A and B are shown apart, each in its own frame.
Chain A
Amino acid sequence: GQTGKLMYVMHNSEYPLSCFALFESGPCLIADANFDILMVKLKGFFQNAKANKIESRGTRYQYCDFLVKVGTVTMGPSARGISVEVEYCPCVIANDCWNLLMEFMQSFMGNHTPGIPSVFGTKHDSIYSPADTMVQYMDLFNKIRKQQQVPVAGIR
């Protein structure tokens, strides 16, 4: 008798040995690759919304201390948008490098530069973790899922 809750299981090529499992506005579990095997065992208890599988695939660029990943977002056979991920590698506190990140992004994204991601909320001074990246991808993918099937560039 539980109301339908969505759990997202995500993988990131940047962390090949890990599996991320998250609930919307809930905890994000970081586990090793065996978690996928556990999910197979739990098949009878959950409904698999496999049709909703979404992925972003593309090229990874390293520019000095920055990491830029540009990918095409696809859902099944159809392309739904483009994702751009920018990371400033030396820094682990979001607040300390947000301005630098924004300046860097403006240099090639111009008006498309986004505002500070909501995943930081009030905790600007906490240490960044890969889970924060996955939450942002989950938000982006959900936005893309909700869009009409018109080729639009969705940039985060």
Chain B
Amino acid sequence: GSVLDQSLESLLHRLRGLCDNMEPETFLDHEMVFLLQGQQASPFVLRARRSMDKSGMPWHLRYLGQPEIGDKNRHALVRNCVDIATSDNLTDFLVEMGFRMDHEFVAKGHVFRKGIMKIVVYKIFRILMPGNTESIEPLSLSYLVELNVVAPAGQDVVSDDMRNFAEQLKPLVHLEKIDPKRLM
């Protein structure tokens, strides 16, 4: 889901109340999306993410698979996910493997946790000159709100917990299951 800039504070206030008691965590990340074109029609997508405000953190490489079959009945989108921490020469390495960068963006926002659920409220910024993360501009006048869980395969029951949590955020924000195919 999403909220307009002016509603951000109310949403953060409610999330602070609902979520685990912890130090407020903000982040500023730079994400680059790489594609590998093979014989297959659809390219292989990898996401490389680095922290711009926390020094010494490893880079994060993520693979997200296609939505799982049988997905229509579940409340949440389920995808295979592989997360890898890497050294900071990740982009050089991906290019050497044959990947090409498709697009990049900066994400700035807040992270909340409730048990194994992670709630992320962030704003996407467009990078005006490739590779230069100093000059960026907001993509829209809203913040994206994402509720996600990383769990071992087969634990579909978490999607019920997610739906219940999402109910508690209404009417500030309506979280809906998205169809990634519509976005491609």
Interface residues of A (CB under 8 A from B): 2, 5, 7, 21, 23, 26-32, 34-35, 37-38, 41-42, 44-45, 131
Known pairs A42-B44, A45-B44; A27 contacts B36 (CB<8 A): no
Q: Select which of A23, A32, A131 is within 8 A of B96 by beta carbon.
A: A23
- Contact across chains for B63 and A38 when beta carbons are under 8 A apart: yes
* Interface contact tally, CB-CB below 8 A: 53
Asked if B86 CB lies within 8 Å of chain A CBs, one says: yes
A24 to chain B, nearest CB (A): 10
Residues of the B chain whose Cβ atoms lie less than 8 Å from the Cβ of A28: 89
Asked if B139 CB lies within 8 Å of chain A CBs, one says: no
Q: Select which of A2, A32, A45 is within 8 A of B84 by beta carbon.
A: A32
- Contact across chains for A31 and B85 when beta carbons are under 8 A apart: yes
Q: Select which of A2, A29, A34, A38 is within 8 A of B90 by beta carbon.
A: A29
Residues of the A chain whose Cβ atoms lie less than 8 Å from the Cβ of B38: 44-45
Residues of the B chain whose Cβ atoms lie less than 8 Å from the Cβ of A41: 44, 63, 65, 82
Asked if B61 CB lies within 8 Å of chain A CBs, one says: yes
- Contact across chains for A31 and B82 when beta carbons are under 8 A apart: no
Distance, CA A42 to CA B89, complexed state (A): 20
Known pairs A2-B98, A38-B61, A44-B40; A27 contacts B92 (CB<8 A): yes
3 closest Cβ contacts across the A-B interface?
A30-B87, A29-B93, A31-B86
Residues of the A chain whose Cβ atoms lie less than 8 Å from the Cβ of B40: 44
